[in-house]
Amino acid sequence: MRMRSLLGPDENTFRHVLASERDKLNKSIPAERCFQPKKNDQGLLSVDSETLISPEESLAIKGSQYKTGTQNFKSPEFWEIYSLSVRSLVLIDKTITVFHDPIIITPPEIGNPSNPAHCLIDLSQVMNRIDAPEIITQIRKHAINRKVHIDMEKVFQLLEKMRKLSIPETEEGSTPAE
C-alpha cells in the first residue's frame, strides 16, 4: 500500500464538473451529485491539487482521457472547474480529509494519462450518515461561488501536445493515423 500525504488546510483543490449537470431548480449552478462520490467510489471524490497544477493543465489532462468504454477523447469544453478549500471542507465536517493520490501510468497509455496532481476527498465517514445529503449540499454551496476561470485557448494548446505525446510513432516517424 502506498503512502498518501494529507493536504494542508491552506491548500485548494480543483473539482471537474460536467457543465450539463445542473440543479433542477436553479440551472445556473451544478447539481449536488457533482460533489458526491458515486456508489462504487468508496466515498472518495477525485480532485486535483491547485498547488501542483493549473486549471488549464488539469482540464487538458481530462481532455486526454478516453470517454468510458470508448476510444474517443473527452471534450474539455463540456467541463467546468470549481475550487474547493481544504479548510472549508474540514469546517463542514471534521471527518473529511483530502490526500494526495497521484496517478502515474508507466508506460504511458493513449487515453489514460498520468495525473501527478490527483487527490482524493475522503467522504467515506460521511456517506452512510443520516446527515450526508446536508453535508453534500454544504460542499456544493461552498463550491458555487468558486468557479474557476479557464483559458480555453491554453487548454487546447496543451491538449494538442498531450494527445500527440500519447500517440506512438511508426518506424518512419509518422503516426499510425497518417
Task: Specify whether the CB–CB gap between 60 and 131 falls below 8 A.
Answer: no
pLDDT digits (tens, 9 = 90+) for 112-136: 999 999 999 999 999 999 999 999 9
- CA end-to-end span of the chain, whole Å? 42
Mean pLDDT, the chain, integer: 90
Rounded to whole angstroms, what are the CA distances from 171 to 32, 56, 88? Answer: 49, 33, 52
Task: Specify whether the CB–CB gap between 122 and 99 falls below 8 A.
Answer: yes
Of the listed ranges 8-17, 90-99, 124-133, 165-174, the one predicted with least confidence: 165-174
For the chain, the structural domain boundaries read 12-161
pLDDT digits (tens, 9 = 90+) for 44-85: 999 999 999 999 999 999 999 999 999 899 999 999 999 999
Question: For a pLDDT cut of 70, what percent of the chain falls above it?
Answer: 90
